[in-house]
Amino acid sequence: MLLSPFVFKSGATAKNRVALAPLTNKQSHAGGTLSDAEHAFLARRSAFGVVTTCAAHVAADGQGWPGELGIHDDAHLPGLQRLAGTLSAAGALGVVQLFHGGTRAPEAVTGSRPWSASEQPEDPAQPRAATEADIERVIGQFARAAARAAQAGFAGVELHAAHGYLLSQFLSATQNRRDDAWGRDRSLLVRTVLREVRAAVREATGPSSAFLVGVRISPEDFGQARGLDLDESLELSQALVEGGADYLHLSLWDVTRNTAKRPTEHPLSLFRAAVPGASLMVAGKVWTRADAEACLDRGADFVALGRAGIVNPDWPTLAADPAWQPVMPPVTAEHLLTNAVAPGFVEYLRAFKGFLA
C-alpha cells in the first residue's frame, strides 16, 4: 500500500504514498530565484511520489530567512518552470509550499517592520498589527503565487498554516487578539486564502484540472506554533476540507506521540474521524518503512519525510526491499555531498544536534 499509487480527490495521481516534506535549505539566490543547487537537491529526490519545495514566500515582506525561494514575482518563473519540468518528467508531483512569515519575517531580511494578526509586545520582532489593507493584499498575493505555480507547470501548492508563520499566527488565540472579523473567527484568513487560491488556480488551469491545493497545519502547540487548541484544529480541518482542500498535512514532529490535550489518543485517529473522506498526510520522525506503514495503519494516506529524505534520496525505491534499513544520523558531510546536498545546505544542517558526524 505504501509504495502503490495514490489518487487525490482532484484526480492527481502520485506514484507512491511517500512525500518529500518541505525543507528549508537556504540555497536560493538573493531575490528568491531558484539556484542550480536547490534544483539538483529536489531533482535527486524525484523517486518520491510528491516532492514539495521549501517554503516559498508569496510577498517580499513575507521572507523568513536569506536564501529562501520566492514566488511573488514573474522573475521567479524561469527557475520554477525548470524545476516543475524536471519533476514532472521523473513522474513526481511537484508541489510549491506557499507561505508568509508574518512576525517571523525579520526586518533584517525584508527591510520592513514585520506584521502579524496583532501587536505582540512580548515578541522581540515587535510586529505591528495588520491593517485591513495588509490582509486583503496578502490574500491576493497567495492567490497570485498559486496561479504562478500553476503557470510554471507544478502539480499543486500547499498553504503553510503551521509552525507559527502568518496563517498560523491568525489561528492562534495568543497571537491573534483582534476584535474584528479576522479575530472573532481566527480561521477566517486561512479559509479565505484557500477559497481565493482555489479560484485563482481554477482560472489558470480550467475547472477540470487535477491541480492540488493542500494545507499544512500544526494541530497543537509545538515550537514556534503556539496558541493552538486541538479541538479547534479538528474543526478547522473540517472547514478546510469543505472549502476545497485536496489534502491536509499534519505536522506532528513525532508521529509516535499522542496528543497533549488527550494523552490517550493519537492525532491521526482524531483527524481521520473528523474528516473521514479527506486525504491526510503526516510528518514527524518517519525513518523506516515500518514507521511509515504504522502511520497508514492509523489513518494517514501519505507520509512526508524530512530528514530521512535528506539522507536517503532514494527512500521510496529502496524501501521496496523489506530488508532495507535507511541510513540514519549522524552522517558525514561527504555522504550528504554525494547525494546532492550542496555545501551551503550542509553548513545549515550542522545546526541540528546529532545530524552530522
Question: Does residue 54 have a pLDDT over 90?
Answer: yes
The model's pTM is 0.97
Please state the separation of Cα 153 from the chain's center in Å. Answer: 18
Arithmetic mean of pLDDT, 88-112: 97
The kind and range of the H/E element at 248 are strand 247-251
Arithmetic mean of pLDDT, 274-282: 96
Q: What is the mean pLDDT of the chain?
A: 97
1 or 72, greater pLDDT: 72
Structure confidence at residue 210 as a pLDDT band (50, 70, 90): very high
Question: Does residue 92 have a pLDDT over 90?
Answer: yes
Arithmetic mean of pLDDT, 291-309: 97
Evaluate whether 163 touches 218 at the Cβ level (below 8 Å).
yes
Arithmetic mean of pLDDT, 232-247: 97
Arithmetic mean of pLDDT, 118-146: 96
Evaluate whether 159 touches 171 at the Cβ level (below 8 Å).
no
Question: Does residue 139 have a pLDDT over 90?
Answer: yes
CA–CA distance, 21 with 283 (Å, rounded to integer): 7
Residue environment code for 311-335, b if the CB has 16+ CB neighbours within 10 A, otherwise e = bbbbbbeebeeeeeebeebebeeeb
**pLDDT for position 106:** 96
Structure confidence at residue 78 as a pLDDT band (50, 70, 90): very high
**pLDDT for position 208:** 82
CA–CA distance, 323 with 314 (Å, rounded to integer): 15
Choice among 32-41, 139-148, 220-229 with the minimum mean pLDDT: 220-229
Which single residue is written with the C-alpha cell 479575530? 183
Question: Does residue 255 have a pLDDT over 90?
Answer: yes
Residue ranges in 220-283 assigned as alpha helix (H) = 230-242, 267-274
CB-based burial label for 124 (10 Å; 0-12, 13-18, 19+): exposed
Question: Does residue 207 have a pLDDT over 90?
Answer: no
98: which strand partners? 56, 159
Architecture of domain 6-326 in this structure: Alpha-Beta Barrel (3.20)
Q: Would you list the domain boundaries of the chain?
A: 6-326, 330-357
Question: Does residue 81 have a pLDDT over 90?
Answer: yes
**pLDDT for position 339:** 97
Ramachandran angles phi, psi of 311, nearest 5°: -80, -30
Structure confidence at residue 133 as a pLDDT band (50, 70, 90): very high
* pLDDT tens profile 140-180: 999 999 999 999 999 999 999 999 999 999 999 999 999 99
- Percent of the chain whose pLDDT exceeds 90: 97
